[in-house]
Every structure is written in structure tokens, then in C-alpha cells.
């Protein structure tokens, strides 16, 4: 039997990069999936088509994670159309680079609205649907623990907030058997951070394994945590960065 057969998952920011890899991996493992996207309807539908070819249900949901009403509405609609919700993966995020003296109030608000507030609101809404034994997996970043270059303080601080959130969720939700885990990718080859980008060589030089990760590397860990392998893992952080933070 597929490890996630009979399960339903919702992934925010699921139309590209790590989010899209997660959508496909959970579907391959037997889950029906709903996922949010912000702008590209064609890209979202193409991904949904790949999921349906695997014989699983796919529900793309257009939603801006910075808008509280849209965040809540996407979770509610996804759970309703799937008929249940067992797994929540928060992948949507934004990074606005810039040294601290150059950041605007709008930059700060946008970063925390999307990277922190949206996660909290998504969890709040998901708890109306998650059964005992459900899973909450939040995507952070290794820069919360190790910020290698100037210009990342705002992003790092927003991702650092997720440490406390996940630990608190584990304490609050443990009596229901709901697990909450923070997964921190390091440099990962996506459209937003390509392995052949202009600064990629600097990151590879700092990484013991000497390479970028692949979205599938992160999705594999998420699938593990969503299945039986994650049964006794909660309130902790798992960093997948090729050793960069060592």
C-alpha cells in the first residue's frame, strides 16, 4: 500500500520549486492534494495535471498568502473539496534582500505578513479540519541559524520566528497527537535560487557537499514526516543544507 493512501494534504506555495516537488511527492505516495498559487494559473494547472496522471485528486487554489481572508479561505476550500485534511505543509514565502538600513516599512510588513502571519493563520484554519494524529510541516530556512552574507537580516529574522512557533505548536497540539516540525532547506536549485546563478559558486564553496540541493531532497523529508516515519517527531527542526550550517 502507498504510505499516504487515504490521506489529504494542503501545500501553500505549491505551484513551483520545493512546493511543487512536495505536491508531486505526496501524490506519488498516495495522497490527494490541494495547493495554493499566487499568479500563474497555467503553471498551477500543469502541475495539477501531473498529479491527476498519478491517479490522485489535485485542487489548485489561487490565493495570496499575504491576505488573511484568502489564506483562511484557501484552507477551508481545500479541506472541503478534498473531503478531509490530514497534512498541512506551509511552503509559501518571500525574500526581500537588502541591508537593514535600506529596508522600508513595506518590506518589513510584507516579509512578516507572508513568512510568519500567514503560517499562523493557515494553522489556525487547518486545526478546524485536522484530525487527531494530523501533521503540520513548516518550511523555514537554514539562514535562521547561519546567515552567510549581508542583506539577509530581514528574511533570517522572519524564518527564526518559526522556531518558536513550531515548538509552541508541538506543546499545544501534542495531546491531540498532531505533530509540528520545521524543515529548513539550505541552497536549493529552484527558479528563485538557481544552482547556476551569479552567486551560486559562493554558496557551493561554503557547503561541505559542494553542491546545491534539489527540490526532491526537501520533498522526500516532508513525505517522511507526513507518513509513519514522522510519527514520533515533533517540536523540532530538521535542516537539509548539505552541511552548510556546520
- Structure-block grid coordinates of residue 86: 490530514
For range 94-107, the mean pLDDT: 96
Q: Name the pLDDT band for 136 (thresholds 50, 70, 90).
A: very high
Q: Over 80: is that where the pLDDT of 1 sits?
A: no
Mean pLDDT score, 88-111: 97
pLDDT at site 144: 97
Instruction: Note the pLDDT of residue 40.
Output: 86
Active centre residues (catalytic):
155
pLDDT > 90? residue 179: yes
At residue 199, the pLDDT reads 81
Q: Which three cell numbers stand for residue 29?
A: 505516495
pLDDT at 231: 97
pLDDT at 198 over 90: no
Mean pLDDT of 78-82: 98
CA distance 133 to 88: 12
Tell me what pLDDT residue 77 has. Answer: 98
Give percent above pLDDT 70 in the chain: 100
**Which pLDDT value is given to residue 12?**
97
Q: How confident is the model at residue 39 (pLDDT cuts 50, 70, 90)?
A: confident
Residue ranges and CATH numbers for the domains of the chain are 8-240 (3.40.50.720)
Over range 42-51, report the average pLDDT. 97
Residue 184 reports pLDDT greater than 90: yes
- C-beta separation of 55 from 32 below 8 A: no
At 192 the pLDDT is 85
Question: DSSP strand E in the chain: where?
Answer: 8-12, 32-37, 58-62, 87-90, 135-139, 179-185, 236-240
Could you give the CA distance from residue 93 to residue 141 in angstroms, rounded to a whole number?
Answer: 10
Sign of CA dihedral 65, 62, 126, 58: negative
pLDDT value of position 28? 98
Helix axes 68-82, 118-126, angle to 10 degrees: 30
Amino acid at each position: 500500500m502507498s504510505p499516504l493512501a487515504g490521506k489529504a494534504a494542503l501545500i501553500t506555495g505549491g505551484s513551483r520549486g520545493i512546493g511543487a516537488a512536495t505536491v508531486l511527492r505526496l501524490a506519488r505516495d498516495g495522497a490527494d492534494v490541494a495547493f495554493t498559487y499566487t499568479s500563474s494559473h497555467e503553471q498551477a494547472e500543469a502541475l495539477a495535471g501531473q498529479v491527476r496522471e498519478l491517479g490522485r485528486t489535485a485542487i489548485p487554489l489561487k490565493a495570496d498568502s499575504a491576505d488573511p481572508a484568502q489564506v483562511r479561505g484557501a484552507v477551508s476550500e481545500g479541506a472541503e473539496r478534498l473531503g478531509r485534511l490530514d497534512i498541512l505543509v506551509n511552503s509559501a514565502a518571500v525574500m526581500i534582500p537588502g541591508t537593514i538600513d535600506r529596508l522600508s516599512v513595506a518590506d518589513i510588513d510584507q516579509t512578516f505578513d507572508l513568512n510568519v502571519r500567514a503560517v499562523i493563520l493557515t494553522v489556525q484554519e487547518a486545526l478546524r479540519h485536522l484530525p487527531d494524529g494530523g501533521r503540520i510541516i513548516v518550511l523555514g530556512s537554514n539562514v535562521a541559524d547561519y546567515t552567510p552574507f549581508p542583506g539577509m537580516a530581514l528574511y533570517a529574522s522572519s524564518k527564526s520566528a518559526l522556531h518558536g512557533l513550531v515548538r509552541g505548536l508541538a506543546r499545544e497540539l501534542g495531546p491531540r497527537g498532531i505533530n509540528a516540525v520545521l524543515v529548513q532547506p539550505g541552497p536549493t536549485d529552484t527558479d528563485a535560487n538557481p544552482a547556476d546563478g551569479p552567486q551560486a559558486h559562493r554558496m557551493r564553496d561554503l557547503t561541505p557537499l559542494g553542491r546545491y540541493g534539489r527540490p526532491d531532497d526537501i520533498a522526500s523529508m516532508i513525505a517522511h514526516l507526513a507518513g509513519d516515519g514522522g510519527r514520533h517527531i515533533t517540536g523540532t527542526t530538521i535542516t537539509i543544507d548539505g552541511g552548510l550550517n556546520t
